[in-house]
Structures are given as C-alpha cells and as structure tokens.
Structure 1
Amino acid sequence: MKKKLLIYIALLGVVLFSCQELSLEPKGMLGEPELFGNEYGVKKYFAGLYNYLPIEDFLYYGTNSNNAYRPDNYWEQGKNSLGNMSGEFFNSWVGVDNDGFAYWPYDRIRDVNTFIENFPTYQEKYTDIDYNKLMGEAHFLRAFFYFGLAKRYGGVPLVREVQNPLADADSLKVSRATEYETWKFIYSDLSFAIDNMTESTESGRANKYAAAALLSRAMLYAGSNAKYSQYLGFENEAATQAGLAGMDPSVANEFFQYCVDAGKVLEEGPYSLYTAGYPDKATNFAKLFLDPNSSESILIKDYDQTVPGNTRLRHSYDALMSPQPDMSSFVGAESYPPLDFMELYEMPAYTNPDGTPVRFDSRSDISNGMEPRMRGTMYFDGDELRGKTFGMQKGIYRTFDGLAEDIQRGSNAAPINSDGNRILGGRGWTTEIDGVTYNITGPHGHFDDQGGENNGWGAAFVRKYVNPDMATSDVREYRSGQHWVVFRLGEVYLNTAEALYELGKRTEAFDYIEMIRERAGCQEVRPVIDMTMTNIGSINEANYPYQIEKSLQFIRDERERELYGENHWWWDLRRWRTADQVLNQFRHRVLSCYFVADEGKYIYLDEDNRWNREWTASKQCYYEPIPWGEIGKNENLLPQNPLY
C-alpha cells in the first residue's frame, strides 16, 4: 500500500487551554487533552499541518505570491506554474522571479513545537510504539517546513521550543543559525523520524520511508550548496562571511553521504519502479503518475474532484494542459514542452547529415523510434486523448530546396520564407496551391493569429499527469482530482546516483541510472563513463562557472528526462549554482512542422519562439532575501542575504 497525503480542510484557530482555567468549556472547541490525548485527535491536529507543507504541486505559484502554496484564484496556477517560471515549459505568461515570495512558516513550526513540547504529558495513554511513531511524525513535519526555508534562505532561526509571547522582547528575537547548522538540524529531525516512525501505511500519513525520501532530497540539496556555492563570488558578502549563506566545500561529502544512506533505507522498503503498464513502456510511464496504487509512490498528495468548490481539494491541471475544444472545455492549454528539453531524450533525427531537413510521410512519424519515456511525458501528432487525435502544424512551404539553417531561426526575412513560399495561418485557415486546398495549420496549432492561450507552440503537448479518462465536457476549471506524487522511488534513485558520483563512486552511481533508463525504454541503458572535464551544460550549451565530468552532466540531464514537469528543474538549477548561466537570456526553441506542398512530405524545423521570449535568472536567485517585514521585527536576522 502507498501513502496518501490527504488534503484536509485546515484545522484553523485551534485553541489550547492547558494553561487556563475557565469556568465554562466553549462548545465545539477541541482543547489539548482532546487533541493530544488520543491518536484520532493527533491525526486531526496533524491534518492542518500536512495541508501547509511546502509541496510544489498543481496549485503552487512559482511567481511572487503571498499564498504560493494555497493561492486564491488557483486555476491561474496554469499560467504561473513553477515550470512556466523556470523555463521548463514555454508559455506567454511569466518569467523568472529572483526574489521569491517571503516564505516564512514559523506559525506552522510553532504548531509542531507545541506538539513536541506538550505530547510527553500524554505518553501514558499510548503504547511505546505509537508514542514514538507520533513523535517521529512531528519531527518529519517540522523538518519539511525547515527544508522549505533552508533551500530558499540558507541559514534561518532554529526555533526548537514554543516561545512565550509575553517574554522579554529581546529573547524572542532569535538569530539565524548558520546554513550548515540549519541543514544539520533538518538531518537530525529526519533521522529521529526514521528511527521512530514505523513501516506501516495509513491513508493521509507519512511513515519512516517518507522521512527517508525527504532526507534524500534535502541532503542532496545541502551537499550541492556546499560544493558549488564557492563559485558564486559571494565571499565578501556579510551573510556569507557569517556562514549564513554558504558553507565550506569540505562539508559537501558529509551531506552527499547522508543522501546515499537515506536511499539505502528506501531500498529496504516495499517500493519498486513502476511496471504495471508493461509491455508498453510509454503508457507505463504515463500511468505511473495516475495510479493511486503505484508501487513507486512513497507519498502522494491526494485531491478529489467530487468535493465542493473553493476548498483547494481539486485543481485545473487537465483544463490548462489540453487543447480546447477537442480535449478541454475551458480556456485550453497554457504550457508546452520546448525543443530544448525534448532534445534531452532519444528522438529521431529531423535534420540529415548534409543539413537538409528529413522528409516524413506524415506528421506523426516524428515519434517513430522515440524514447518511450518521452512519449509517456509528452503528446505528439497522431496521439489520442479523450477520443480526439492531436494534430500540430505551423504552416506550409510551397517548396523547400535548401538547408534547415536557411530558415534563419524562422525569420520572416529569410529568403526561403519570403515571397509567399512559406504560408502561415490561423485556426482553420486554408490555402489553395496549384488547384489543391490545404489546411495551413493542424487543428491544435501553431496559429499565427492567436496568442499563447490554447495555441500549440511547437510539436508537443504535456502528457505527464494528464488524466485521459475524463470526459471533455468535465475538463474545466477546478474539475481535476488526480493526486500529486510528493516522493517516488525514481527520484530517490536519481538522488542516490548523483550523490554517489559526487563521492567518486561512479560505477555504483550508474547502477541506479541503468535501472531508471531500462524502465524508460532507452536504447542506451548504461552509458560508458566519461570523465572528460567540461564546463558546458546541455540546455543551450550554457557555460558553467566550474568544470564537471561529462558523466556527471549526464546524470544531471537524466534527472530532467525522468523528472520533467515535476517541479524539480528550478531547484536543481539553484543547488547546482547554474541558474544564472542556463537561464541567461534563455530563449526557447520550438520544433515546428511544415507541409512541403510540391513534395507531399512533412519537415520539422528548429525555430525560435515566435515572440523571441526570453528567461533570465540573476545570481540573486540562489539566496532569497530574508523577508524585510521580519527583519523589521527582528534585527538579529541581519545581515541580509547576498546581493540584497
């Protein structure tokens, strides 16, 4: 059985009366004895905390928002997703937000600390196993909140006890711990959780394996921060000199080893890479994210499309990833996979060695021989969804007798694109060539008369997490109920592989990569280890500020192939300290399909996005600023993080 993280309506305004004597008990209130004195009450108390965990899922706003994890007008998340913000998807809506949004969940941490501090009073009401399990769960929750803080700010105040609001004001102004101390605190909490939580599964709860999965993710982040922050040029910044934003590279291997150790704990559990959809490996990969009983899911956050509206217990993912009207009854797709990410996978060549475009008999031939995992991640021309077939075409060439590069990235000024040789059009437009009438575009884009909304930019739509079993009439805002996978074994294998490689254990690292790639259906399952040093990354061949072995870059790329669209990309770029280089005036490329009329063939061309849209991250993104409003209340939070 898998863990389901059920989203309960938040338990707000819980009042604890342990320190007060009241002559009348307010009706309908749950006091501390009712909550902490039995496991059902604890479960109710924890439910509100789970609901606020920093999980970047269907509802998460990647842009500046005071309610990023629980947004107000939350159907618009499709336009403001973390994937859109970080350049993982192409869209017309948002760009990189370097400043963050002032995440500061110390009210939730206080709730956890209240439990940890007061729960021992009720220990006699529980067996030792149950008491330890609940105390371990509380440490898991606290570590999750601190992970959300540490990956944004580095060192933060470590509040281990419930503060008395009536105490001396200076005693309430807790200083920031160093970044190293902060990550070690997370390690300590999660180690406690693993040692005390049980293996048993219960709907809505984490177990020891969920704690190990969080430890795997957090410690890989910490190890990368420690190793690569030295290349940021922050050494003269006050926060860096104080150890608040940056760590000595010598501690990196300590955290990488913690990551490996956490992965070993997971390997003792009941989880395995998902294969229930075999022998079709593309369908299998797509089903991995929709099957609530997946053997791979360690912890999932559940939604329910049948609940009342405005509860944030449902989302709009399908309505904003599928084209309207054929597969969506709302505004239609908002996000599309760019060519930059498509080319990370094994896919057919669309340009011949001599530079001419490959000729295809049909548009759908582009997916022949494609890596199954890629087909399970994206929809291509000819694929079906909700009884309709995808069709994506940008335009028509009367004739194409040149090289692919002759299009000059799709420029209208290119000779081959001028004088009516290239014909572009809007939705449903036709043209007549030599007495034959042709549809200029496919039914799902690319429409020259239409903006970013419901317009297939390129040659693919997102498939990952899309529920094919919904009727099109139901594909509207707030009508989706598929769960979000918080932790899965595939990610843990990738975490372990990267940490092992960083520790110099290259062969063992590629044992995990081989398992991932075999399930993905890759032609090359175990690449030869290449220790050649490079500072060139894969996405647009960005320059890194340091050199790495090519095999380590392969492992990084494997993360993006496997985890595309799961909101890891942005955080990976940040912990590798490469965001400001990869997203340095980053302009998406799109793969555009054209029909060549005089040949009756199709070609695919590498073009710039139509608006020449670009994404740029600055070095400020690596450490978000401590919220200035909090500094106004507590000057001990200074010095501020670098570059602010």
Structure 2
Amino acid sequence: MNILKKYFVILGILLAVFACNDTLELEPLDKVSGKVLFETEEGIKTVVADMYKRIPVENFWYRPTGNFAGFNNKNAESAGAMIATDHFTDDACLSHGSGWSLTANYWPYGNIRYANIFLETVEESKGNLSEPVYNRLISEGHFFRAYIYFGMAKRYGGVPLIDRLLDDEYQPGSDNENLNIPRSTEKETFDFILADLDEAVKYLPESTPPDKEGKFRATKWAAYGLMSRVALFAASTGKYNSNADVAGEAFDKKLAFGITPAEADEYYQKCISASEAIIDNSGKSLFQPNPGSPAEAAFNFLGLFHQDITDGNEIIFKQGFIPEAAAETQGHRYDGLNTPHQLNQGYHVDGRYSVSLDIVDVFEDYSDDGSGNSVKVKTRTDGNESYTFSDISDGFDADLPFIKYDSPLDAFADKDARLHASVMLPYSNWRNTEIVVQGGLITPTGTQQIFVNQSAQGLDGNTYYVYGAAGNSLFSGFYGLNFWQDGNYYSTGFGVKKYLDIKDVDRGRNSDTDWIDIRLAEIYLNYAEAVIESGSGDAAKARNLLNALRQRAGHTDNIPLTLENVLKERRVELAFEGHRYWDLMRRRDVHELFQNYKREALVPVLDLRENPPKYILVRTNQYHDERAGGRTVFDHEYYRPIPGRNTNNLIDNPNYN
C-alpha cells in the first residue's frame, strides 16, 4: 500500500456530488488536515460528501464492463448506462446485443484507506465534536467501509481486510512484509462487513431532514437494509456453492466458494433480524399499498421512482442527481439513452435498453386463482406458448393457430400492473405518443417481409410498412439489427420504462431522477426468502409481506409462501433495479441458466391477409443471441480474478492462475 502522510487530500471537491451533493457549495480544499476539517460544520460536510461519493452504488453512473467500466462515470460513453448488469441477464440486453460479462474489477483500497482515515480522524477529533455528531460520524464511517468491502466481497470472495492505517507500521529499509496483508476467507470477509454494519446501526439517526442537506445521508434503516442484503448474499452462496464445480488453492483455503451450507443459516438469521428491525420499527410503509384498480396500481408503481410523485416513505436509501452544476453536467443520461427512438431527445443514441420476452412472461395476470403462477403472453389459440422460431427472419409457419389481435397491446391488457409500469410495451402510449414496435408483414398473397424496410398494400387498398411506419424516426423497434450504429431500436419487442422521466420534458443528457438503492419492497422479499430458505423466522409474516406486494400491484388473492413464489415476486417487483444479476450470482444459477442460452423476443407481425389487417405475435430468439449461438457462463465466473497479482502475490480465484 502506498504510504502517505495522514491527511485528507481533498482534490477539487465537487460542487455537487451525489449523496448530499446538492447541498455543498464549498471552495475546493487541498491537503487539509483531517482534524482541521472536523473543526467546522462546513468541513464536516465536505468530508462526508466526499465519502458518500465513494460508495459503490450501481446507479445511473455505473458501467459494469467495456470502456470506462466502473463507478461514478459521467463520460459520454458511460454515463447513464444504468443498471447495465441487467443487460447480461435473462431480463434484458443492449438493443445491439450483449452476451455474458463479469462485472468490472473493483479493488478500491484507496477508498478503504480513506474510510480508515475518516474513522481515525473522527476519533482524534472527539474532543471538538458534540457527542451526537461524533457518534453519527463514527457510525457513518462504518457504513461507508462496509459498503465498499461488500462491493469487493461479491466480486472476489475473501479479500485482504485492513481496519486501520498502516503508516506507523512502515519500517524504512526493511522489506515491510508486515504490510503484505493476505486474503481473509470469504466467511471472515462477510463477518467483517456485518460487524461494521453492527457498528453503523448504533448511532445513525432514524430519520434525516427532508431538505437537500439531509435526505441523501444514511439512516439506521439504511444500515439495516444493507445488512439484510449482505447477509442474504452470504447465506445464499453458502447454501448453493456446491452447485458450482471448481477446484484450486483459493477453493481449498475457502477464499472463494468458502461459505459452507452448515454456515448459511447464521447469515439467514442475520438477514431475518436486520429485516425485522426495519419492518417492525422503522415506520416505513409501501407507497400506495391499496390501489383501486390495476390501472391505478400501474400509475402508482411508475410514480414510486419519481421523487416529485412519491412520498418517499418506502425509500430507505437513495442518491440524488442534478442536471447542471457550474460548467459540469451532474445529471445522468438514462433518459437520453433509453427513451424510445420516436421520442429521441437530441442525443445520438437512444432506445438502447431492450427488455426480454423471458421476463415479460414471468408477470402474472389477474386471474388471481391463489397460485401466483406466471402467465405467458398469449400468442396462439391452442395455448402452445413453448414454440419459438429460432430466427424469424428466415420465415415462420404463418398458418399456425395464432391469435389475431387488433393491436399488439391487447395481448397485455390483463397482465400485472408492474409490467405496464416497468416495460415499454409495443403500441403502448408514452408522452402522448403511440410507441410503434413492429417487425414484419404478411402480404395478402402470404409472402413474409421480416426485418426489411419494405411495404405492401393491404386488401383495403392502404399501404402498410414492415416496421409500422414509413420513416425510421416514426417507429421504435427492430430496425437495423445487423448494424451496431442502428442499435437505437428495441431488438426484443420491448423497452424499459421504469425510471424513465414521466414528465414531457426534453432531458437529453441531464436527467435528475434520484437513484433508489434500498427500498422497503426489497426488505420484504429478503425476509421472505430467508424465512423460506432457513425454515426459521415468522412464516405467517413472510407470507403477508409477500402478498402485500402483490396487493399493491392490484391482485386480490393471497398466494402461499413458497420459494418459487418468492423468487418470482422478487423478479417482477425489482425488475431493472440491478438485482437480477446479483441474485443469479449469489444463488449460483448463472452457469446452469446460461448454457448456450438465447433470450427471447416477441415480434408483432401485421397480417394483411385479413381485412382489416390483424396482428399476430411471433415468439423468436433475440436476433444477436441467435447469431452468437447462445450465451454460456462457466462455473468459475462467479468471481473476478484478483487484480495486481504481479505485485501483491495474492492467491488468485479458481481457474484464473
């Protein structure tokens, strides 16, 4: 580790960094002693804001792979890439295609040092701080450090644990072997994180002022929420590690795949306890829990992700963005990148987030028969929804018993409200515009025109277009599938809606929607999963929490508490919030699912053999997955290779050395 003088080196503190960021209007500070900074309220704000900036939240500025990979990127190629981990799951893909990708390396020992400096300096400044301020800062420091270590633990397993500054341990002229900290076991690493969170919950406040100075700082419930998430992650890996077939020194020494099934229950218990602390004591409640109709439920759920609509009581921890700060953009580009192409906001890319038919099929309908079963989109009169054309562009059997729809949107009329709030459906209305998503025509003579820029005359004498409109600025799906540069059109039939700005405002590159990192719905689901997996906790409470989420979505029945129901509910409730990737990782499901796996698309095709024309919906493999021969993940890819081994000599994870 690079040995530096024990100073806070504050390099150009941002005028508006997220998490308390919009409250700070301070001059940049340079090489200011930590104790001096803690002598003033403004100095404390500066240090705290800089620490929040370092928390590895996978928000709008996070990019998990490729150019500019990492956290807090605002660069033109990365800012707004938003939850791009979901692009590497069965829920979604980039419109121009994406396979499997491990998340970016994250080896932030500079930030760990910063956290340790923070904690030590607060301790040294105790005499200058009031007891409440001192206590809060100490707990905040433990929250910071826990979050940073969790970002590493879920990527690498066991990592070197450094809980102090090493400056005084440096010996000039010696080999300083004492500074070569080896990897701890995976269990020791998760125990360290949870111990930090035990310290965090001691003195963090139960609430913060709703003003811009306080609303993004962590509360006691944020620490409990992170504890719930961390403990469930550790428990799941312990229970399901045997699903992966790996070997090597890191495996033998329990640095990776290192938590055993016998140890899993202690983490499930920790998840249950942390979740109950929030559920029973925080006063948090679901946003709009009792809608009058599915339509109202959809409106409410969409509004949950917009701070100008939601009351925020469901939100436990979030980060804020502002569109402009001085000459630097501090907003994000989520809207610019993901708005349907028809509503292009002047940015050169849009429509980049394609949602898979796989996740659309998971949502229930409103039959509400007490089972909670998913209901696939209905495309055929014989109910056979398992048949998929591997490549619709090669043609398909148009004489199969397809349902004939007046509009593709009719196929989703009875689907769960959260689908309508989270997914841009073909021919739905967004900002007073019908979002045209179509991929083909069947001419009156039966000729198929699929994924080609052509038109045909119908039996009614009108001209119809393969993509639903004459010009490529007038539709939003399937165009230019062979060209990365034309990746501005949904390649699955669906786009993302969750988090898109609902206001009819041209945001372009400066969206200011807050990022919700932890909300009460996740805690309900963490609790339910831990209860069903461990066989402990209050099963009746877990069942009630599970059904509360469905009732908030407009369902009227109650379903049983089963693992299948919990995981299905988790997938639809938290869709596109960045959870699916890590759920697959912690439960060791990725390598079993992604074996030449091809995500599915739904292609609306206009049948001109009918008068008036009718739509049929054709199931097919996503274009780029089909051409890639599917996507495959290997057992060892649950962990990243350890960075910098040529200098740190740490034991690498299995199959990387």
TM-score by length of structure 2 reads: 0.82
Question: Counterpart of 2:145?
Answer: 142
The CA deviation at 1:461 is 1.9
Q: Which residue of 1 aligns with 2:588?
A: 577
Letter aligned with residue 458 of structure 2: I
Contact 2:200 2:223 in 1 (8 A): yes
* Residue 467 (structure 1) aligned with residue 501 (structure 2): yes
Preserved contact between residue 7 and residue 302 of structure 1 (Cα < 8 Å)? yes
With over 3 angstroms needed to count, the CA separation of the structure-2 counterparts of 1:640 and 1:576, relative to structure 1, is closer
Give the superposition deviation at 1:250: 0.8
Q: Which moved more, 1:355-364 or 1:577-586?
A: 355-364
Question: CA offset at residue 362 of structure 1?
Answer: 2.2
State the match for 2:422 in structure 1: 377
Partner of residue 218, structure 2: 206
Check conservation: 1:133, 1:198, Cα contact below 8 A: yes
1:5 aligns with 2:19: yes
TM-score by length of 1: 0.84
Residue 319 of structure 1 pairs with residue 349 of structure 2: no
Give the whole-Å Cα distance in 1 for the aligned partners of 2:452 and 2:343.
Answer: 17
Unaligned runs of 5+ in 2: 1-17, 209-213, 366-376, 385-400, 469-473
Q: Which residue of 1 aligns with 2:450?
A: 424
SS in 1 for 2:19: strand
Supply the AA of the counterpart residue of 2:647: K
Measured against aligned partners, the alpha-carbon deviations of 1:372-402 in whole angstroms (never above 9, x if no partner) come to 0110111223432233221222122236xxx
Q: 1:8 to 1:251 in 2, by over 3 A?
A: farther
Determine the C-alpha separation between the residues in 2 that align with 1:173 and 1:14.
34
Q: Secondary structure at the match of 1:5?
A: coil
Candidates 530, 547, 551, aligned match of 1:518: 551
- 2:314 match: 296
1:190 alignment partner in structure 2: 197
Q: Confirm or deny: 8 A CA contact 1:394 1:441 kept in the other structure.
A: yes
State the partner residue of 2:265: 253
Q: Deviations over 1:539-597 (max 9, x none)?
A: xxxxxxxxxxxx31332222111111111111111100111111222211111112222
- Match of 1:162? 165
Contact 2:186 2:259 in 1 (8 A): yes
8 Å CA contact 1:277, 1:285 repeated in 2: no
For structure 1, the 5+ residue unaligned runs are 16-27, 400-418, 530-550
Structure 1 distance, partners of 2:361, 2:68, is 36
The Cα offsets for residues 186-210 of structure 1, whole Å up to 9 and x where unpaired, read as 1111011111212131233111111
Taking the TM superposition and a 5 Å limit, the aligned residue runs for 1:487-502 are: 487-502=518-533
Corresponding position: 1:336 with 2:354: yes
Q: Could you tell me how far 1:255 is from its partner in structure 2?
A: 0.4
The residue correspondences of 1:345-360 to structure 2 (distance < 5 A) are 345-347=363-365, 349-353=378-382, 355=384, 356-360=401-405
Alignment partner of 1:247: what SS? coil
Deviations along 1:486-515, whole A, 9 cap, x unmatched?
Answer: 110011111111111111145443222111
C-alpha displacement at 1:316, in angstroms? Answer: 0.8
CA contact (8 A) 1:136 1:197 kept: yes
* Alpha-carbon offset, residue 327 of structure 1: 4.5
How far is the alpha carbon of 1:14 from its aligned partner? 9.7
Q: In structure 2, what residue type is equivalent to 1:353?
A: D
Which residue does the alignment assign to 1:436?
462
Partner of 2:154: 151
Q: How many residues align?
A: 578
1:546 corresponding residue in structure 2: none
CA–CA distance in 2 between the matches of 1:12 and 1:96? 43
Name the structure 2 match of 1:97: 101
**Aligned amino acid, residue 517 of structure 1:** R
1:554 corresponding residue in structure 2: 565
What's the Cα RMSD here?
A: 2.7
With 171-180 and 451-460 compared, the bigger mean Cα shift is at: 451-460
Decide whether aligned partners of structure 1 residues 74 and 223 sit closer, same or farther in structure 2, where only a CA change above 3 A counts. Answer: farther
Question: How much does 1:175 deviate?
Answer: 1.1
Contact 1:500 1:508 in 2 (8 A): no
* Alignment of 1:608 onto 2:625: no
The 1-side partners of 2:360 and 2:288 are apart by 23
Partner Cα separation in structure 1 for residue 77 and residue 297 of structure 2: 32
Pair 1:128 & 2:131 matched = yes
| Conserved 8 A contact 2:157-2:639 | yes
The amino acid across from 1:304 in the alignment is: I
Secondary structure in 2 matching 1:607: strand
Q: What's the % identity of the aligned pairs?
A: 28
Alpha-carbon distance, 1:444 to partner: 2.4
Per the TM alignment, residue 181 of structure 1 is displaced from its structure 2 partner at its CA by: 0.8
Q: How much does 1:285 deviate? A: 0.7
SS in 1 for 2:341: coil
Counterpart residue number, 1:528: 560
Task: Give 2:462's aligned amino acid.
Answer: V
The CA distance in 2 between the partners of 1:253 and 1:453, in whole Å, is 45
1:601 is matched by which residue type in structure 2? K
2:63 corresponding residue in structure 1? 61
Residue deviations 1:502-539, cap 9 Å, x none? 1114544322211111112236x43235xxxxxxxxxx
CA distance in 2, matches of 1:225, 1:12: 44
Q: SS at the partner of 1:586?
A: coil
C-alpha spacing 1:460/1:515, structure 2 compared with 1 (3 Å)? same
The residue matched to 1:204 in structure 2 has which SS? coil
Q: Deviations over 1:74-126 (max 9, x none)?
A: 4445668222233432322432223x433111111111111212322221223
Matched, 1:592 2:603: yes
> Which one of the candidate residues 211, 221, 229 is aligned to 1:217?
229
Distance in 2 separating the partners of 1:553 and 1:87: 17
Residue in 1 aligned with 2:32?
Answer: 30
Q: Is the 8 A contact 1:197 1:207 kept in 2?
A: yes
What amino acid does structure 2 have at the position aligned with 1:369? D
Q: 1: distance between equivalents of 2:166 and 2:265?
A: 35
CA distance in 2, matches of 1:445, 1:291: 28
**What are the Cα deviations for residues 586-619 of structure 1, in whole angstroms up to 9, with x where unaligned?**
2111111122222232221211123315332222
